[in-house]
Structure 1
Amino acid sequence: MSWFGLGKPRSKFGRWLDQQGISQEELSRESGVNKSTISRLCSGDAFQPSMKNASRIVKALKKKGKQIEYDDFWPM
């Protein structure tokens, strides 16, 4: 049993944020994307962001020096 994340399933994106030490709240604040949207993106691979939100997330992460692209996490 994992206490980290309270045992909830994580998406590829959620696991990546965990590995990078980036909180959902921090990403929400820096990207301007609603925290509940970020939470859904982290909790399972079934949810995909709108192109507008995805681009805001990618832009915010690139500002932090992260080399990522939309299709690293979400199929096009």
Structure 2
Amino acid sequence: MAGKQRGKLGKWLDKKGIKQEWIVKETKLARSTVSDICSGRRTPTTPTLKKLMGALRKVDRNAKVDDFFDI
């Protein structure tokens, strides 16, 4: 992923070795939405945030919204 713009979520996924595709499958969100959020181009809406956090907590049950987003 060299040269790819990454937001906090994208960097976390890279560190954990998790593909964005896993998030797409877990959350049923559009691939473009996940890509935009991982790159920091988009801030998730509340329903999207709930889906994301549900998936992320399967990996790290202590994950908090402010670990990934400045909301």
TM over 0.5: yes
TM-score calculated relative to the size of structure 2: 0.85
Deviation of residue 31 (structure 1)?
1.3
* Count of aligned positions: 70
Q: C-alpha separation between the residues in 2 aligned to 1:69 and 1:36?
A: 23
Whether 2:7 is the aligned partner of 1:18: answer: no
Question: How far does residue 62 in structure 1 lie from its aligned partner after superposition?
Answer: 1.1
Structure label with greater radius of gyration? 1
Structure 2: how far apart are the matches of 1:35 and 1:69?
22
Structure 1 residues not aligned, in runs of 5+: none
Gaps of 5+ in 2: none
State the identity %.
Answer: 37
Backbone CA RMSD of aligned residues: 1.3
SS in 1 for 2:21: helix
TM-score by length of 1: 0.80
**Stretches of 4+ aligned residues off by more than 2 angstroms:** none
